[in-house]
Chains A and B, each alone.
Chain A
Amino acid sequence: MGATYLLEHIAGCFLFDEHLALVESGPPEGKEKEAFLKTHASAVPLSYPAHAIQLRRALAAIASKIPKGGLRAANLARTRHDVKHAVSDDFLIVQAVKSIEDLDKVLNSLAIRLRDWYEFYLPEYSVSQPDHAEFVRGVVETTKEQFLSGKKTDSFGADLGKPHIAAMKQFAERLLGLYAAKQELERYVDSTMKTICPNLRAIAGSTLGAKLLEHAGTLKRLVELPSSTVQILGAEKALFRHLKTGSRPPKYGVLLAHDAVQSAPKGRQGRAARILADKISIAVRIDYFKGQFKGDALLEEARKKIAQ
């Protein structure tokens, strides 16, 4: 036989002579494959880049020999398997965070819509309650009479019939359901963050930490980013503008929402974001490599350094 080279391929095991002509092929997997490999243990497995030249010729040699149907079926099965197993918790967190952000947007516009509507009936209440969620709750739970009791003047809102009031209330109840859905998602994100990135959660908080994950895409990519990029994650537009037009570079992205950055004096917030980003980079590395919990200590170090 005298086979010289071996290519372990998804469609089978292929043996080549020293001129890279195909001499024999064996099964792609299972016990039969192992037996086949044992019989031909002396053949050199082709690898890249060591055997680039040989590998190229081997692949050309088998191009017409591999049946397309088998090649496709094997790859299809393998890719289905790979896609199935590519799902990790960080993908799920990112979707949950995006759902929270979408809910925020939707709730904001629906609450404003309800205000416009309800103000025909009781404008004084809408004005007295600036918080959207509380306003919506009030529409469900308080009547006009309850709101006006003890007030010196009557409302200048119209006196509407029952069906009109009921429609507004029912709509408001749906909104309360959405507020509840948002809270449930936040609890889910928090507990998942606690399991997969406790250090990031401790230093950035679970919402902010999850947003960093969202902008990086995955925990792995967040780990690979230099901390100077972590510092400005979420400010990609401003960064692009800076590179294109020479406008001032952004100093922070989503990290601006962190209280350690918020509480820094105005001119020093960029510095605070940089210090925080340094520590966050350490934290995500610990999370990714499953090291000892150090998140609280990292946050403390960041705060001290920012205060200096």
Chain B
Amino acid sequence: MTITPSRIFEVHEAQDGRKRRLYTLNAVPGTAVYGEMLIPTPRGEFREWNAGKSKLASYILKGAQGIGMRKGSSVLYLGCATGTTVSHVSDIIGEEGMVFAVDISPIVMRDMLFLAEKRGNIIPILENAFHVDRLAKRISAADVLFQDVAQRNQVEIFLRNADLFLKDRGYGLLAVKARSIDVAAKPRDIFKAVRKQLEAKMTIIDYRELDPFQKDHCMFMVKK
């Protein structure tokens, strides 16, 4: 199995039988974050990026052309949880970049704090992402907005944050979980409704459903 650069900046891949696997170069060699595989190579240590646990990885495996991030990017990440995905974002953007990792739950923020202490480009923030007035006192404008909060009002949260914090021509990624908006409706109908809400304010440049990695989830990519 050989690991080669993928078409996404700083993301690497390997074909393992019929499975495609993703990797990032571990910024903290020797340390796994969520039990993922570490693979030492002459180019550095790769960390496997598990699509079953990360919607951003699923999005890439489902054929994304880009995720808007590269070395040095600043990222506003809403709904960071314990930092599974944030850890890979941290690998991607490197020392020059920074990721504001926001979550409302003090319980998940404990793990996030330990992660941030090991990685100098993570800025952890315990806050409700809906309260952009409070976030405005904690962060600066970002090149990329990523959101995965699984909340009923997630589109409103996304639009507010994009409006205030996303730089012009910046990219936004919105992960949508159908069940968190309406458990009874058909996921496709929910995704359609979200598309409408987004289109009213921003330009959608990509859309992908994330099954089989995450059932009834999709990702929207927008440009400001």
Contacts and interface: CB of A to CB of B under 8 A. Distances in A.
A72 B183 contact: no
B193 interface: no
A83 interface: yes
Contacts of B205: none
Contacts of A87: 106
Interface size on A, as a range, is 20 to 34
B28 interface: no
Interface in B80-115: 98, 100, 106-107, 109-110, 113
Contacts of B137: 7-10
Interface in B140-170: 140-142, 163-165, 167-168
Contacts of A66: 140
Interface stretch (A55-63, A126-134, A181-189): A55-63
Nearest to B184: A243
A71 B140 contact: yes
B138 interface: yes
Contacts, number: 86
A75 B167 contact: no
A80 B132 CA distance: 20
Interface stretch (B15-23, B29-37, B52-60, B123-131): B123-131
Contacts of A244: 183-184
- The main secondary structure of chain A at its interface with chain B is helix
A289 interface: no
A72 B140 contact: no
Interface string A46-90: 111100100110011011001010011001101110110011000
Contacts of A76: 113, 116-117, 123-124
A20 to B, nearest CB: 12
A70 to B, nearest CB: 11
A83 B120 contact: no
Contacts of A8: 137
Given A66-B140, A79-B113, A72 B126 contact: no
B184 A10 contact: no
B126 A86 contact: yes
B156 to A, nearest CB: 12
Interface centre among B74, B116, B124 (most CB of A within 10 A): B124
B51 to A, nearest CB: 25
A63 B74 contact: yes
Contacts of A243: 183-184
Contact of A240 (B117, B140, B183): B183
Interface string A29-60: 00000000000000000111100100110011
Contacts of B116: 72, 76
A59 B183 contact: no
A307 to B, nearest CB: 36
Given A79-B113, A83-B126, A243-B183, A52 B140 contact: no
A83 B106 contact: yes
A55 B183 contact: no
A59 B164 contact: yes
Contacts of B189: none
Nearest to B182: A243
Nearest to B140: A63
22 contacts: A8-B137, A10-B137, A48-B133, A48-B136, A55-B136, A55-B164, A56-B141, A56-B164, A56-B165, A59-B141, A60-B141, A66-B140, A68-B121, A71-B98, A71-B140, A75-B100, A78-B138, A79-B125, A79-B126, A82-B106, A82-B126, A86-B126
Closest 5 CB pairs of A and B: A86-B106, A48-B133, A63-B140, A63-B141, A243-B184
Given A75-B123, A75-B138, 19 more contacts: A7-B137, A9-B136, A10-B138, A46-B136, A48-B132, A48-B136, A52-B164, A59-B141, A59-B165, A68-B121, A71-B98, A72-B98, A79-B124, A79-B125, A80-B113, A82-B109, A83-B110, A87-B106, A91-B107
